[in-house]
Chain A
Amino acid sequence: MVLRITSLEVTIDRKKGSPVLPVRGVSFAVEAGQTLALVGESGCGKSMTCLAIAGLLPRRGCVSAGRVVLDGADLAALPTAEAAKLRRRHVASVFQDATGGLNPVRSIGWQVAEAVRLRQGATRAEAGREAVRLLGRVGLPNPELRAKEFPHQFSGGMNQRAMIALAVAGNPRLLVADEATTALDVTVQAQIIDLIADLRDSLGMAVLFVTHDLGLVAQSADHVAVMYAGRVVETAKVSDLFAAPRHPYANGLLKALPHLAPAGGRMATIEGTVPAIDALPPAGCAFAARCNRASEACRTSDPELRGNVACHNPVPLPVNQTVNRYENEKIMA
């Protein structure tokens, strides 16, 4: 496992009021050469989980419990400087706003070369040549010329490619892509997804792919973790989740996809909204208020993640589905 997160908890102090916990005991693992998708609505704690892994939590935030183990080293327990060194070497992040993530007064080539120098300790000349190679690798036409240009001269898709070149400089072990294609047109999005998959396969990276788009999950991930109100409520192989979601929230998200409803017909919805992190119910399952399968137990005790799903009344598997899952597991083993 490249990355294994165990019972991760993130606490954010506030100027007024008690601290809040946007991430409340999250566990998952990502293997080399594999993509894990983290899905859920806004406010579910997806991005906070990523920021905790990348060591980029806001100033008032900290990892208050749990382990973030990268290639055997627990980043949450190491001294900050040592953890930062490991992250600089092995963890790369790509965010939604690529244009905002690049330095407007430095050329694209300079910025990629800087990442190469920091990660690999190369000389300026070597780093410059490597930067041009990387920009070509991410599909930028005329990399020698484009390397001299600045972010404002690039389109959003080209800036995202440059950001990915910068991220994969020095062959990181883990790429965290947080809504990396959300702001892009579908045609550009499809190309960026293909690019990330190519780089994952050729460099053997693990990819943590955060998105709210279940279509992208189906197209690009191997495994998926569904988050709700700071917890993982279901984990599964992608094919299993789409064939038979167990958690009512995962089920609701899938049913609400416009592609699945008959055109022109009413769409399935999940009534209500994600609770604010400072307004979680005092006891019981955070999803109970929106859940059509909620029972008395759901309002009194919060279900643990048991097997693949954290739910007192999971959606039953279709009869033939049990067999399929079993066979899948045999193939996995």
Chain B
Amino acid sequence: MSYLEATDLVRSYEQSSRGLFRKPHKFRALDGVSLKLEKGTTLGIVGESGCGKSTLARVLLGLLDADGGCVTLNGQPTLNLPDTQWRALRRSMQLVYQDAGGALDPRLRVRDQIEEPLHIHNLPLDAVERILVSVGLFSALADRYPHELSGGQLQRVVIARALVLDPELLVLDEPVSALDVSIQAQIVNLLMDLQRDRGLTYLFVSHDLGVVRQISTRVAVMYLGRIVEEAPRAALFANPLHPYTRILIDAVPKPDPSLRRTTRIEIGAPPNPADPPSGCSFHPRCPLATARCTVEPPALRDFGDRRVACHLIKETV
């Protein structure tokens, strides 16, 4: 049994359609997502905007209700729990957002921001200075307001606030995307140190494959609400099996002028999630699509310790 397990998660959104009396259109932001996350490891979730990465993070934390499927933490189901039980469980899982400035209350001092979760859970308020030091900030910053801090410091405060309840699982939704490279590297190092020292488990959502490669133990690639490939970090980057994973990795601009991309990224525009293509939802953009891909959606199949959803992958990989 894994630390966190999600099985067949489904979540739909309604999109208001044109015309007042037409039925709103439903589309699936999560369309049967299953994943396992071992304690003390990091699962990176990558994909283009609109693929359902953030929806997945929010459903796992109970910030959005799932329409179907189940989630277990330490073997205990987490969805649809009574409030008191949910509250106790929720302490062990915390969220860190991309927009650190927006996640903090501009009128509260850093100290009050970090104490707030302690108030909510009726815990003693002695930890603030210690937690600030553990995320690499001077304890004197506790009396500052968010507008007095830099972007990197704000992100450290948000991480401190998530850690103050001593959680086991951190869900990090694009935590470094808004930061400059040098600051990004500082935060990634901090996250790796915290994981080592506290045995934290991370679900790391990002569109930046470079950072995901750095921090993840395993990586899941999402496309239109489904996981299309999931594999150990090294295997995924060295030998991507799904054509979409391959294109994503090729499209990352490599910081080496001698490795200039000579071929074009011929992939076309992402489809409208409200009107997903038939069969494999990637087939209209796939360079290798066959007739079968246009009618039959591929299942996510196991190949050793990786999972791939593609008809073209033969059993003997």
A binds B: yes
- The smallest C-beta distance from A220 to any residue of chain B, in angstroms, reads 8
Residues in A neighbouring B252, C-beta threshold 8 A: 186, 215, 259
CA–CA, A187 and B244, complex, Å: 10
Residues in A neighbouring B184, C-beta threshold 8 A: 256, 258
> B260 near A191 (CB under 8 angstroms)?
no
With A155-B269, A191-B265, A258-B185 known to touch, is A273 a contact of B152 (CB < 8 Å)?
A: yes
**Cβ-based interface call for A73 (8 A):** no
**Cβ-based interface call for A325 (8 A):** no
| Interface locus among A91-99, A108-116, A163-171, A261-269 | A261-269
Query: Size band of the A side of the interface?
Result: 35 or more
**Cβ-based interface call for A207 (8 A):** no
Closest to A290 in B: B182
Residues in A neighbouring B251, C-beta threshold 8 A: 186-187, 189-190
**Cβ-based interface call for A257 (8 A):** yes
With A186-B248, A187-B267 known to touch, is A219 a contact of B213 (CB < 8 Å)?
A: no
**Cβ-based interface call for B247 (8 A):** yes
> B189 near A266 (CB under 8 angstroms)?
yes
- The smallest C-beta distance from A262 to any residue of chain B, in angstroms, reads 9
- The smallest C-beta distance from A42 to any residue of chain B, in angstroms, reads 6
Closest to B212 in A: A258
Report which of B182, B233, B247, B264 forms a contact with A270, defined as CB distance below 8 A: B182
**Cβ-based interface call for A185 (8 A):** yes
Interface string of B255-266 (1 = CB under 8 A from A): 111111100110
With A194-B265, A273-B150 known to touch, is A263 a contact of B255 (CB < 8 Å)?
A: no
CA–CA, A273 and B213, complex, Å: 25
Residues in A neighbouring B181, C-beta threshold 8 A: 41, 212, 214, 253, 256-257
CA–CA, A41 and B208, complex, Å: 17
With A214-B181, A273-B183 known to touch, is A254 a contact of B247 (CB < 8 Å)?
A: no
**Cβ-based interface call for A158 (8 A):** yes
CA–CA, A295 and B186, complex, Å: 24
Query: Size band of the B side of the interface?
Result: 35 or more
**Cβ-based interface call for A218 (8 A):** yes
With A256-B182, A258-B213, A261-B214 known to touch, is A190 a contact of B48 (CB < 8 Å)?
A: no
CA–CA, A215 and B210, complex, Å: 10
- The smallest C-beta distance from B288 to any residue of chain A, in angstroms, reads 16
Residues in A neighbouring B141, C-beta threshold 8 A: none
A-B contacts, CB under 8 A, total: 129
> B255 near A259 (CB under 8 angstroms)?
yes
**Cβ-based interface call for B140 (8 A):** no
**Cβ-based interface call for A239 (8 A):** yes
**Cβ-based interface call for A125 (8 A):** no
Closest to B258 in A: A239
**Cβ-based interface call for B270 (8 A):** yes
- The smallest C-beta distance from B177 to any residue of chain A, in angstroms, reads 10
> A218 near B207 (CB under 8 angstroms)?
no
Report which of A187, A213, A220 forms a contact with B265, defined as CB distance below 8 A: A187
Of residues 135 through 159 on chain A, the ones whose CB sits less than 8 Å from some CB of chain B are 155-158
Report which of A187, A215, A239, A269 forms a contact with B254, defined as CB distance below 8 A: A215
**Cβ-based interface call for A28 (8 A):** no
> A185 near B210 (CB under 8 angstroms)?
no
**Cβ-based interface call for A238 (8 A):** yes
Of residues 71 through 126 on chain A, the ones whose CB sits less than 8 Å from some CB of chain B are none
CA–CA, A318 and B280, complex, Å: 51
Residues in A neighbouring B261, C-beta threshold 8 A: 190, 219
> B237 near A213 (CB under 8 angstroms)?
no
**Cβ-based interface call for A62 (8 A):** no
CA–CA, A239 and B254, complex, Å: 13
- The smallest C-beta distance from B183 to any residue of chain A, in angstroms, reads 7
Report which of B237, B248, B255, B264 forms a contact with A257, defined as CB distance below 8 A: B255
**Cβ-based interface call for B188 (8 A):** yes
- The smallest C-beta distance from A292 to any residue of chain B, in angstroms, reads 13
Residues in B neighbouring A25, C-beta threshold 8 A: none
Interface string of B204-240 (1 = CB under 8 A from A): 0001111101110000000000000000011001000
With A187-B265, A194-B265, A263-B213 known to touch, is A219 a contact of B182 (CB < 8 Å)?
A: no
> B182 near A218 (CB under 8 angstroms)?
no
Smallest CB-CB A-B distances: 10 pairs: A215-B253, A258-B210, A267-B185, A270-B182, A41-B180, A190-B265, A185-B48, A186-B251, A256-B185, A269-B185
> Which residues of B approach A to under 8 Å, CB–CB?
48-49, 150-152, 180-186, 188-189, 192, 207-211, 213-215, 233-234, 237, 247-248, 250-261, 264-265, 267, 269-270
Residue pairs across A and B with Cβ atoms less than 8 A apart, 14 shown, are A185-B49, A187-B267, A187-B270, A188-B269, A190-B251, A191-B264, A193-B253, A218-B257, A218-B260, A242-B255, A254-B255, A260-B255, A264-B233, A267-B188
Query: In the complex, given contacts A41-B182, A188-B48, what are 10 additional A-B residue pairs having Cβ atoms less than 8 angstroms apart?
Result: A158-B269, A185-B270, A186-B253, A191-B264, A242-B255, A256-B182, A258-B214, A263-B213, A263-B234, A266-B192
